[in-house]
Amino acid sequence: MKVFVCIKQVPDTETKIKIRADGNGIDATGIKWVMNPYDEFAVEEAIKMKESGTASAVTAVGLGPKARVSEALRTALAMGADDAIVIDATEDMDSYATAKALAAAIKAEGDGKFILTGKLAIDDNQAAVSQMIAEFLGLPHATVVSKLEYGDNQVTAEREVEGGTREIVQLTLPAVVGANKGLNAPRYASLPGIMKAKKKQIKEIALSALDSNAGELRVKFQDYQLPPEKPPVKVIQGDAAQTAAQLVKLLREEAKVI
Amino acid sequence: MSIVTVFTEFTNGQLKKGALELLTAARSSGNKVQAIALGSGAGRIADQLAQYGVDEAFLGDNAAFDDYNPEIFAAAVAQILEAQKPAIALASSTMLGRDLFPRVAARLKTGVASDCTELTISGDGVQARRPMYAGKCTAAVVFENSPVKMVLMRPNQLPAGTPEGKKNVVVHQVPTPTLDLKTLVKQIVKGASEKLDLTEANVIVAGGRGMRDAASFKLLHDLAEVIGATVGASRAVVDAGWVPHGMQVGQTGKTVAPTLYIACGISGAIQHLAGMSGSKVIVAINKDASAPIFQKATYGLVGDVFEVLPLLTAEFKKLLH
Ligand SMILES: Cc1cc2nc3c(=O)[nH]c(=O)nc-3n(C[C@H](O)[C@H](O)[C@H](O)COP(=O)(O)OP(=O)(O)OC[C@H]3O[C@@H](n4cnc5c(N)ncnc54)[C@H](O)[C@@H]3O)c2cc1C
């Protein structure tokens, strides 16, 4: 069974975000790009499937400006993916257009049986692409998956939902799964892995080659603003008993939240 | 007049607070308001829907909707939206809403914005904003080529109005979709906690490495019990195995937006702040006056959690009981 892993590149969590002069996006200069943390769980899972013989081959698929997205794909190749596909597109693709292009690229490969993604990307936090790929390909999906077991033409997924409740769902293959933390412990790329990755192929696809409406957006994010400055903290002084009493009073009378 | 369709979640015969917030926003827009409610007992909330200004309700009072199966829910919801053609569809940005609506949006070839924190409806237009880059900035949502504008709102962001004088509501039964299912819900393992989930909680008490060990989380549960809070945690204590991952707040945990967030022995790393800086009032209890959490806090208490927490719990008990 061939496995596809979809990968997004996101700004490193420590990166300071600056808003672009036109206000409709962030200033990309100086940003350190990394693989979306949840996608690391997806890549690790795919490689483990190959190591255990469940998967025959692993293809990493990414979308965005090809030069930088290829770096994240190289990381996946260094971790152990067999080959990769980069769909060259602008920065501002929405979930819909992204999922549509990824679905089309995977479909064109013909033999996909299992598709892994992260449960969400930490940049826009939309949590939409995984389910949309499934819909565009007519496949079942499960998101927020922290455990997978592979059976005959089906996969059993454990998803963590509200209040610590877990749902156990069975999907008939082919299927799409969005990985959550806890699914596995992603490996670091080894030095030999990095060397090997240099020789592996990254196939380039132009967005326009997928379908004529491929870049048509549904949602744009505009008018970016920094959050309003918080007033400085009110420090409560005194011994433990005094501070506890004063805090309760402030929460009741000033903040009025209790 | 346009139609606004609200997907309303309910539990134990009551609409969830997030649903009341959405209905309040929908009814104040002056549009025709529709509600969708799926699951056993949906019939019993018809009165409550009417009280919140719903003109037409689509109720699937049927055990087939009790467990969330994305295929069944997507088919039912897409069918209603395709037939009714609302300008706007609203749902809460909960585990269910976030899983379901992107799939429905793809089916309807329309746009969806999840995790929104601001919403105004005027006519058939919506103005919504959402945090981006883990709350480091916010952005306006602009829909294009979208027959139905789908907005998923974080709970606790909009005011929940009060019930109005009872009004008639037209009820339609939602048929169970007949599908060749590729998804089977095998088992639901209930969590230990009967409390509201972190993402919906109005008050959260969270603990970090400063709590020293798993057993000391009892101090947090005691406080939570008194003030009706849900307990959360930093990643450090999740990684240490003191509490399950479902309790983690932050960039790789849950994003929360309660009215009150009490951080106990949490340093305030940027990835933790990413998950909770949307809280209205933040209290930090930490023995290190230079901990970064104090820069985000509304009230700061420099002290030892082991001394302060029992006293705080006792003070609240005096006030509330
Ligand atoms: C990619 C990535 C993603 C991450 N995602 C998350 C995430 O989702 N959520 C998250 O929380 N973290 C996340 N982290 C980890 C984050 O960087 C911090 O390591 C973590 O939040 C620290 O947890 P803490 O505040 O409990 O522990 P510490 O940083 O060790 O802080 C403990 C605090 O307790 C105080 N303290 C100690 N004893 C007492 C006492 N007796 N009384 C009062 N105060 C006391 C100390 O002064 C200190 O400030 C992530 C990191 C990375 C790299």
Q: pLDDT tens, A9-46?
A: 999 988 899 999 999 999 999 999 999 999 999 999 99
Q: Measuring CA to CA, which residue among A214, A201, A207, A194 is closest to residue A65?
A: A207
Give the tens place of pLDDT for each residue, A113-141: 899 999 999 999 999 999 999 999 999 99
Query: How much is the pLDDT for B27?
Result: 95
The alpha-helical segments, DSSP class H, found in chain B are 17-28, 46-51, 70-84, 95-107, 217-227, 235-239, 270-276, 293-296, 305-320
Q: Name the CA dihedral angle for A76, A81, A84, A90, rounded to a multiple of 10 degrees.
A: -20
- Distance CA(A102)–CA(A139), nearest Å, equals 14
Mean pLDDT of chain B: 95
Is residue A213 within 8 angstroms of chain B, CB to CB?
Answer: no
Cβ-defined contact of B144 to A217 (cutoff 8 Å): yes
Considering the four listed CATH numbers 2.40.440.10, 3.40.50.300, 3.40.50.1820, 3.40.50.1220, the one that applies to the domain covering B203-320 is 3.40.50.1220
- Restricting to A residues 116-175, those with a Cβ less than 8 Å away from any Cβ of B are 122-132, 134-136, 139-144, 146, 156, 160-172, 175
From edge to edge, which strands make up the β-sheet containing B125-132? A219-225, B137-143, B125-132, B118-122
Q: Is A173 exposed, middle or buried (0-12, 13-18, 19+ CB in 10 A)?
A: middle
Residue type, A7: I
The type of residue at B239 is: D
> Which phi and psi angles does B35 have, rounded to 5°?
-130, 145
Average pLDDT score over residue span B64-84: 98
A39-A44-A45 Cα angle (round to 5): 95
Closest partner CB to A163 (pick from B187, B195, B283): B195
**Does this complex have an ipTM over 0.90?**
yes
Give the model's confidence band at A227: pLDDT under 50 very low, under 70 low, under 90 confident, else very high: confident
Cis status of the peptide bond prior to A174, with omega within 30 of 0: yes
**What is the residue extent of each domain of chain B?**
3-173, 203-320
Cβ count near B273 (within 10 Å):
23
Give the pLDDT of residue B194: 65
Compute the distance from residue B191 Cα to the ligand 1 centre, in Å: 25
Strands B183-189 and B118-122, sheet pairing:
unpaired
pLDDT band for position A229 (50/70/90)? confident
Q: Which residues pair with A14 in a beta bridge?
A: none
What percentage of chain A's residues is helix, strand, coil (to nearest 5)?
Answer: 30, 30, 35
Q: Which residue has the tokens 């940049």?
A: A123
Residue from A9, A10, A13, A234 whose CB has the most chain B CBs within 10 Å, to mutate = A13
Other residues' Cβ atoms within 10 Å of the Cβ of residue B132:
22
Task: Copy the structure tokens of residue B318.
Answer: 């005096």
| Nearest partner of B132 among A98, A32, A118, A121, judged by Cα | A121
Pairing of strands A175-179, A112-118: parallel
Sign for the pseudo-dihedral over CA of A58, B74, A221, B235: negative
Chain segment B273-301, per-residue pLDDT in tens: 999 998 999 999 999 999 999 999 999 99
The average pLDDT across B147-164 equals 95
**Residue B166's pLDDT is what?**
75
Does residue A72 carry a pLDDT above 80? yes
Q: Topology of A2-216 in CATH?
A: Rossmann fold (3.40.50)
How many beta carbons lie within 10 A of that of residue A253, not counting itself? Answer: 9
- What is the SS3 assignment for B261? strand
Nearest CA in chain A to B310: A244
Q: Which of B69, B255, B299 sits opposite A236 (nearest CB)?
A: B299
C-alpha B221/C-alpha B105 separation (Å) is 40
Q: Where are the alpha helices (DSSP H) in chain A?
A: 37-51, 66-79, 95-108, 129-137, 191-199, 207-210, 240-249
In which residue ranges of chain A is CATH 3.40.50.620 found?
2-216
B3-173: CATH topology: Rossmann fold (3.40.50)
pLDDT tens digits, B24-39: 999 999 999 999 999 9
Can you tell me the distance from the alpha carbon of B157 to that of B140, in angstroms, rounded to the nearest whole number?
16
Instruction: Return residues 233-262 of B near A (CB < 8 Å).
Output: 244-247, 251-253, 255, 259-260
SS3 label, residue B154: coil
